[in-house]
Amino acid sequence: MAVEVCVKAAVGAPSVLGDCPFSQRVLLTLEEKKVPYQLHLINVADKPKWFLEVNPEGKVPVIKWDDKWVADSDVIVVLIEEKYPHPSLTPNPEFTSVGSMIFTSFVAFLKSKDSNDGSEQALLAELKALDEHLKLHGPYICGANISALDLSLAPKLYHLEVALGHFKGWSVPESLSLVRNYMKSLFARESFKKTKAAKEYVIAGWAPKVNA
């Protein structure tokens, strides 16, 4: 039986997969484990009544688990791992904080209106730390095999690439070649291609925050 999962629909295109990196993380986990799932695209600007009845907070992603709807991508991926342990995506516990500040730093830099506020340097420092980690432990965060940490980071790095490229003409420096190769290899996976939002929807999703 297919797992039911609710994710964000694209801004202005409710029948198309949207740009939520946390929704993509859940879909990537299901894809990598070859778990069949039924997708419900939720228009977050006009949430359907049935969705709010099963999930009053109205957040995505949510997954149906033993007749209960469960929210929060952190909780969901742990549940998927427990129920479908093969292939294992359990990360090395020593590495759980690797890359954990990249998304926050990216958002701060994306929203920044002041080129001297240090937000670009903070993001570069996080990316450099990831590059150094990959030099010692790569090609993935936990070595030879992909793990839940990579599946959490991949959608965030995709947003970083698309949004900073569009709004700031910025890209990951050539000097961080291991990060660039890491991104390229993650984005080339079948699971990623199948679950990513089109670039124009990533841009549409960030535009209100950038212009705020």
**Active-site positions?**
20
| H or E stretch at 96 | none
Residue 181 near residue 144 (C-beta atoms within 8 A): no
* Token couple for 41: 């695209």
**CA 152 to centroid of chain Cα atoms:** 5
Helices 102-111 and 199-210 pack at an angle, to 10 degrees, of 60
**CA–CA dist 148, 125 (Å, integer):** 23
Q: The tokens 């990831």 sit on which residue? A: 130
**CA–CA dist 52, 132 (Å, integer):** 44
**CA–CA dist 118, 212 (Å, integer):** 20
Q: Provide the sign of the torsion angle of the four alpha carbons 79, 83, 89, 91, taken in this order.
A: positive
**CA–CA dist 122, 145 (Å, integer):** 28
- Among 83, 78, 73, 75, residue whose Cα is nearest residue 36: 83
Cβ burial of 44 (10 Å; 0-12, 13-18, 19+) is middle
